[in-house]
Chains A and B, each alone.
Chain A
Amino acid sequence: MRRFVRHRGEDARILAYSGSCSAGELQDGETQLNVEAVARRSEWSLKLGDRVFRVEHLGEHRYRVNGHELNCQLKTELEDRFAQFQRDADGAGARQLEAPMPGRIVKLLVAEGDRVTKGQGLLIVEAMKMENELKALSEGTVEAIRVEEGQGVEKGAVLLTFAEESTEG
């Protein structure tokens, strides 16, 4: 069973899928749908229940369904939490990076004293067998790293801190 989060405007809803890459079942709220797909190269003949869709993959997250193009990107529940966490932290302008969920530090991508730019990868955390890269939310200097590679961390644990930036000059 894989759980994904679908955002439509303000609404967020769980899509749960169990099955293979060609057949399975989709739980969408109250509705349960049989999924069956025949793939060729960059297109699929997809059946949701008895309804047939012609789905083309145009690149990245761009699709064309029955002649209509659209963008579609789904996050797993976990990725969605990561994204939410990063958004929250972004707003806070935090001087420290905390673990968004329990996991294991796979790799450190920076060292103490490094100058990092916004969006630069800081470290990789594995949670529920998925690797997630935590990125710098703003420009700054890494002051201290509080974890080691291979170490397990609890949710909310401080992973690293940033030096206080002088605001003058």
Chain B
Amino acid sequence: MFKRILIANRGEIALRVIRTAREMGIETIAVYSEADRPSLHVVEADYAVCIGPAPSRESYLKGDVILDVARRMGAEAIHPGYGFLSENADFTRACSAAGIVFVGPSPEVMESMGSKTRARRTMIDAGVPVVPGTEEAIQDVNAALEIAREIGFPVMLKAAAGGGGKGMRLVHEEKDFVAALDAARREAQGAFGDAEVYVEKFVEEPHHIEVQILADSHGNVIHLGERECSIQRRHQKVVEESPSPFVTHELRQAICDTAVQAARAVGYVNAGTIEFLVDKHRNHYFLEMNTRLQVEHPVTEWVTGVDLVRQQLLVAAGQPLEYRQQDITTRGHAVECRICAEDPRENFLPDTGRIHTHRLPSGPGIRVDSGVESGSEVSVHYDPMLAKLTAWAQDRDTAIARMHRALAEYRLHGVRSNLDFCRWVMEHPVFGSGTYTTRFIEEYFEPEMLDGGGDANREAAEVIEILRRVKREKGLASEDRGEACRSTAWKQQHRRA
């Protein structure tokens, strides 16, 4: 096993890797930007090297600088976390050229999965279902109709040069097809100067469901079940759970087998995730493969008991996985909320500032992967995700109740957060029923729904408004009398407010 590794990341995921490395007796080297010296991943590492100014492209994305640090510090491997350099094939190549192990798949696999069209072809060749459709624009109306019939209605017409919904047409029935195609072409011509249109199967009421896989260099490939990730805002996941309440036993078998088959087809090694779109009829289609550890991996760790980072490091060191497929059983249910510095009332716009209070929930079945603490600065340079709150319980309803309880315990002051929004999701009957789709937030969420939870709560806030005022006036009065004021901090704070 490695004696020392470098972690080419920051925040909660760097800390996540440090934790497992320490348990395995591996020393860790943190890299950090000038803004991140006080950050937890630096505080908790064994060694730390500053690699540049705050902006990521001048620090965490500087592969050459990071590789130099790794060489100089005697790192045997580099764990990339997620984001930054984690799916950068050139960096992976540079690592192996320098004789340093990259904790992840080979650059060839990374490249074959990196481009959507290449990944799609690879998967079709491997017999993995993809969203049926044409890869090239269709000129002939009759040929297009023939393809639409083959795919089966409803179909989606998409402008080749498309974007922003222009040149897109949903066609439910065959009789509307020709007129819709003409309209889509005219619109595409007008908007993009290019009338080319694709035909694609329309995925009805889509669910975003993904399968975690692990593969070693000895030919073992296993899956660790699925995660449901359909609660998304701004095309980013915010709530995830495992297992998926929408997936039946048969579908689970199918997508997990498909995922293993896909991983084998590309010769995948290390931890990876195959993402699927699942429609309301429970048909599944390959979406993409993420060749790294996922943000939401803790829900899989909860239900399987497997430490994914540990397996990643073992595999990277050339050892076999510690589990065979028959060793993997899932128990209970896990839910994750990504706690972000953002304002759900303002279209989930990220917020920045200093966190002056950060106190984590605890108790049975609660895990928090946090990259911040009281005093941390949330800057524009990095992701607004501050922490991942996960809850496990023996069944889904109990896990949701537990998450709801933990969200209320969470204290996060100084920046706006989505804590109240996550509470709203946990209380929503459609979320509770487990039938939600990727359109959940746009279909059901209105900011006015975050309404404070009733008159008793409102009265409590009113009383605090009064008490704050009494205190402020008392402070002003003692200042007028020229008295030394012992409590200046709150006074300044309230004056600012």
Interface bits A32-67 vs B (CB < 8 Å: 1, else 0): 000101010111101010010111111111011111
Please judge, given known A-B contacts A65-B453, A67-B408, whether A55 and B460 are in contact too, CB under 8 Å: yes
Interface bits A1-31 vs B (CB < 8 Å: 1, else 0): 0101010000000010101111010101000
Contact of B467 among A37, A53, A70, A72 (CB under 8 A): A37
Contact of A68 among B420, B464, B465 (CB under 8 A): B420
Is B463 within 8 A of A59, CB to CB? no
Contact of B461 among A21, A28, A41, A70 (CB under 8 A): A70
Chain B residue nearest to A55 in the complex (CB): B464
A69 at the B interface (CB under 8 A): yes
B207 at the A interface (CB under 8 A): no
In whole angstroms, how far apart are the Cα atoms of A26 and B423 in the complex?
Answer: 30
Chain B contacts for A66, CB-based, 8 A: 408, 453, 457, 460
Interface bits B199-241 vs A (CB < 8 Å: 1, else 0): 0000000000000000000000000000000000000000000
B357 at the A interface (CB under 8 A): yes
Within 8 A of A (CB), among B428-478: 450-454, 456-471, 474
- Please classify how large the interface on chain B is, using the bins under 10, 10 to 19, 20 to 34, 35 or more: 35 or more
A166 at the B interface (CB under 8 A): no
A167 at the B interface (CB under 8 A): no
Main secondary structure of the interface of B (DSSP, over half): helix
| Closest CB in chain A relative to B472 CB, distance in Å | 9
A110 at the B interface (CB under 8 A): no
- Please classify how large the interface on chain A is, using the bins under 10, 10 to 19, 20 to 34, 35 or more: 35 or more
Is B457 within 8 A of A70, CB to CB? yes
Chain A contacts for B451, CB-based, 8 A: 68, 70
Is A42 within 8 A of B462, CB to CB? no
In whole angstroms, how far apart are the Cα atoms of A44 and B490 in the complex?
Answer: 13
Chain B residue nearest to A40 in the complex (CB): B357
In whole angstroms, how far apart are the Cα atoms of A65 and B420 in the complex?
Answer: 10
| Closest CB in chain A relative to B279 CB, distance in Å | 35
In whole angstroms, how far apart are the Cα atoms of A118 and B469 in the complex?
Answer: 28
In whole angstroms, how far apart are the Cα atoms of A154 and B478 in the complex?
Answer: 30
Is A42 within 8 A of B356, CB to CB? yes
Is A43 within 8 A of B453, CB to CB? no
Please judge, given known A-B contacts A56-B411, A70-B451, A74-B462, whether A41 and B470 are in contact too, CB under 8 Å: no
Chain B residue nearest to A18 in the complex (CB): B470
Is B408 within 8 A of A57, CB to CB? no
Is A63 within 8 A of B464, CB to CB? yes
Is A22 within 8 A of B467, CB to CB? yes
Chain A contacts for B423, CB-based, 8 A: 67-68
Please judge, given known A-B contacts A21-B470, A43-B357, A68-B452, whether A56 and B413 are in contact too, CB under 8 Å: yes
Contact of A44 among B356, B419, B467, B493 (CB under 8 A): B467
Please judge, given known A-B contacts A56-B411, A59-B497, A63-B461, whether A69 and B452 are in contact too, CB under 8 Å: yes
Chain A contacts for B416, CB-based, 8 A: 58
Is B453 within 8 A of A68, CB to CB? yes
Chain B residue nearest to A46 in the complex (CB): B460
The 8 closest A-B pairs by CB, nearest first: A70-B452, A67-B408, A68-B453, A21-B471, A65-B457, A53-B460, A72-B461, A69-B420
Known pairs A67-B453, A68-B451; list 17 more (Cβ under 8 Å): A19-B470, A39-B467, A41-B356, A42-B493, A43-B413, A44-B467, A53-B456, A56-B413, A61-B465, A65-B457, A65-B458, A67-B419, A68-B454, A70-B452, A70-B458, A72-B458, A74-B466
